[in-house]
Amino acid sequence: MLRRGKDCCIVRPCEFSVSLTIYASALRTVLAPFQVDTMLRRVHFVITTVIVFFAVSLTADEGMYPLSEISRLDLQSKGLEIPVSELYNPDGISLVDAICQVGGGTGEFVSEDGLILTNHHIAFSGVTTASTPEHDYLREGFTARARNEEIPAEGYICRITEAYRDVSEEVLSVVTPSMTPAERSDAIRDRMRTLAKKEEGDRENISCDVSEMFPGKTYVLFTYRIISDVRLVYVPPLSIGNYGGETDNWIWPRHTGDFSFLRAYVAPDGSTAAYAEENVPYKPKRFIKVAPEGVSEGDFVFILGYPGRTYRHKTADYITLYERTILPYLTSRYDYMIESMEELSKNDRALQLEFANMIKGLANATKNYKGKIQGLRRLGLAGKRSAIEAELQQFISNDPDLQKKYGETLTQLHDVYTAYENTAMQEIVITLLRRNGYFNLLSSVTNAVDKGELNDEKRERMNKLIERQYADLHSDAELDFLATLIRDFKKVPRHLQPASVETLIGAHADDDAAAVNAVKEAFRKSALATADGMQTVTSWDRDQLALSKDPFIALALEVNLLNQEIVERRRTRDGELKRLEAEFIDAKMAWQQKDFIPDANSTLRLTYGYIRGYAPADATYYSPLTTLSGAIEKHTGEEPFNLPEQLIELYNKGEYDKKFEDKLLKDVPVAMLYNMDTTGGNSGSPVLNARGELVGVNFDRAFEATVNDYQWSEDYSRSIGVDIRYVLFVAKYLGKADFLLGELGVE
């Protein structure tokens, strides 16, 4: 049972009525694929009428609805066949009790013994860590045929939402009119932490967080049950779970079997415990029944999950900053890092496994960012937001009371983002630099020496840390990333650059390759080059540090000071935005007289829609189901299109149970497309049918939908899931995991 406090999470106009925005379907989306001969115009009219009615009836609503809103939605009229209380019931057990947060995404309990179904890319880190060149579970897959063969997914924690309550008044009670923006930011942050810690108490199984729903306006305290023993049960081979690789990532049509099974374990008494042989499977309050018959085009579906972040209530200036500056730089930076790691590891499988998690994460991010940039530019979203804000400003100006309250809000927001744009590149480069393995350590050492914090005991601990980290660092990759980041200071306004960058790059400022080589050459002569050299610095005093001729030590000292300035700048900016964005929401609410759903923030949400194709371009229509025959058409025998030959042979011979086929397609369905509202963090979320049964696992969005984080549209917002029939098919015939089908209740 998931408990709740009073209703929260949504901002309403004064009458508190519910008026959800419904987007009409664009007729061209439906009609584009139909080319009709002149002699068939009468038939065309009938078909068109039916299709238009069908399309409009399958229009989803924008919204990642918080728990407090689920009971307000008229889901039965949309196609839900079970009571809404089956989805979320504050006074009993419901489907939300079967949903967990795991591995940075979502998972769902699918058996009474803590079996979790999620994505292959969610389990990716766990299976990579467990792999070696001799036992390459990532490439070959992993199957535990007995409970004692299930292996730890290292670093994984399972979180289950237990309760929530609105704490907005308690959080904002610490804010006073006399506070500076930085003081306001600190006060809110500290109050959020205090409330969470107080609620958590000394309960070992419980973690509490206060989440900001609307900045500076609404806050909700969530209570989570924590499970820290998570194990791998079945992970398909990479050629299934990552079929198509980055070529097909964020793309439809898709043929990726992006699924894996994990299991949650607890101590014999039911309490949270770290991995131990005596631990037993967790017994969830609710698990989700599998619907092996799957879905068809037009079926109602819904998702419960933990979407990460959206930015739909941000202003035009925010969008401009990300479109023009932040996303383009990060895209080029991540692309370079991927190329560098792939080149370094091309003949070394052990190194490929070491880099696999980072490469996959960076590749996923950079393609997402490219989609966002393309989408923002195609939509002209910054311009559209600017026009809306101009209308809002006019509305405010026409009302003396609103003018008094909000007359300067948009201008002040513009000023905040203008200042941010001026320093954004400095903040990004310094943030990334401080994450570099070498520089992070140097920054810590120089900061401690500069402040006189290293007594004998702390120095010994620091030296042991240096020894461990240097042993673990991949020197070629870290040095390359360090050198190119220092080169990237050229993208920062001159007055915001550390002076020592000039010393390192010297006469090579206009030659990228020469600048990088100059930094690398200076590194080889630096104390930073070896663990012994770094440990020597820990024995220095402040004067020795200041007198050092090592340009990297000089850079570290400068960056430490600049970072302090950045921290203060961010505190002030955050405090200003909390106040101004709260005013912005209030002003829009007064203008539009409609409900606002808070942006996603990694808390439990619901979205619903239909299995539905789309038309991403002129004369192009994509149907919503892909098949195994389509996957085989893509097969080349080489990564990333290298289906297991065993699977191809099985399919071609037809030696499988036809219950895994779609009755209309006469083929095994692989992936599905739907018009639900999802984002990062929804990976692994269950796709549920009208009866609340599992028909798929969400794992991606179409490329055009990467811009969803800023604006959702019925025209292009499509998400992608793996069909449950393919999950079962692969587990049975490739994984020989009939025991899993039995546990799922599938005969």
Tokens linked to 635: 């097969």
Tell me how far apart the alpha carbons of residues 743 and 737 are, in angstroms, rounded to a whole number: 10
pLDDT at residue 23 greater than cutoff 60:
no
Residue 288 gets which letter from DSSP?
A: P
Which residues on neighbouring strands pair with residue 687, listed in sequence order?
303, 696
Tell me how far apart the alpha carbons of residues 410 and 520 are, in angstroms, rounded to a whole number: 46
**Percent of the chain, pLDDT > 70?**
92
Q: What is the mean pLDDT of residues 119-137?
A: 98
DSSP-assigned states of every residue in 32-85: TT----GGGHHHHHHHHHHHHHHHHHTPPBP--EEHHHHTTS-HHHHT--S-GG
Q: Where are the alpha helices (DSSP H) in 685-737?
A: 724-733
**Percent of the chain, pLDDT > 90?**
90
pLDDT at residue 629 greater than cutoff 50:
yes
Q: What is the mean pLDDT of residues 559-586?
A: 98
Burial 342-377 (b: 16+ CB within 10 A, else e): eebbeeeeebbbbbbeebbbbbbebbbbbbbbebbe
| Helical (H) or strand (E) element with 248 | helix 245-248
Burial 629-645 (b: 16+ CB within 10 A, else e): ebbeebbeeeebbbbbe
> What confidence category does residue 46 fall into, taking pLDDT thresholds of 50, 70 and 90?
very low
pLDDT at residue 386 greater than cutoff 80:
yes
Tell me how far apart the alpha carbons of residues 53 and 46 are, in angstroms, rounded to a whole number: 11
What's residue 63's pLDDT? 87
Q: What is the mean pLDDT of residues 672-693?
A: 98
Of the candidates 625, 713, 637, which has an alpha carbon nearest to the alpha carbon of residue 670? Answer: 625
Q: What is the mean pLDDT of residues 596-619?
A: 96
Per-residue pLDDT tens digits for 149-175: 999 999 999 999 999 999 999 999 999
Scan for tokens 């939402």, then name that residue: 161
What's residue 54's pLDDT? 42
Written in H, E and C, the secondary structure of 102-141 is ECCEEEEECCCCCEEEECHHHHHHHHHHHCCCCCCHHHHC
Q: Tell me the CA end-to-end span of the chain in Å, nearest whole number.
A: 30
> What confidence category does residue 387 fall into, taking pLDDT thresholds of 50, 70 and 90?
very high
Per-residue pLDDT tens digits for 564-575: 999 999 999 999
Tokens linked to 342: 């792939």
Residue 641 gets which letter from DSSP?
A: B
Which residues on neighbouring strands pair with residue 303, listed in sequence order?
607, 687
What's residue 58's pLDDT? 61
State how beta strands 260-266 and 280-281 pair.
Answer: antiparallel
pLDDT at residue 21 greater than cutoff 90:
no
Of the candidates 357, 283, 289, which has an alpha carbon nearest to the alpha carbon of residue 104? Answer: 357
Per-residue pLDDT tens digits for 290-319: 999 999 999 999 999 999 999 999 999 999
- The domains of the chain, with CATH numbers, are 1-23+59-157+228-311+597-747 (2.40.10.120), 424-571 (no CATH)
Which residues on neighbouring strands pair with residue 164, listed in sequence order?
4, 222
What's residue 512's pLDDT? 94
Helix-strand-coil percent breakdown of the chain, rounded to 5?
Answer: 50, 15, 35
Contacts of 565 (CB under 8 A, 6+ apart): none
Residue 526 gets which letter from DSSP?
A: S
Phi and psi at residue 638, to the nearest 5°: -125, 150
What's residue 14's pLDDT? 33
Phi and psi at residue 611, to the nearest 5°: -70, 115
Of the candidates 110, 52, 184, which has an alpha carbon nearest to the alpha carbon of residue 572? Answer: 184
> What confidence category does residue 16 fall into, taking pLDDT thresholds of 50, 70 and 90?
very low
What's residue 507's pLDDT? 85
In terms of pTM, does the model score above 0.95?
A: no
Residue 274 gets which letter from DSSP?
A: -
What's residue 52's pLDDT? 36
Q: What is the mean pLDDT of residues 249-254?
A: 98
Contacts of 233 (CB under 8 A, 6+ apart): 115, 144, 150, 261, 262, 263, 740
> What confidence category does residue 59 fall into, taking pLDDT thresholds of 50, 70 and 90?
low
Catalogue the E-assigned strands of 186-249: 206-214, 218-227, 229-235
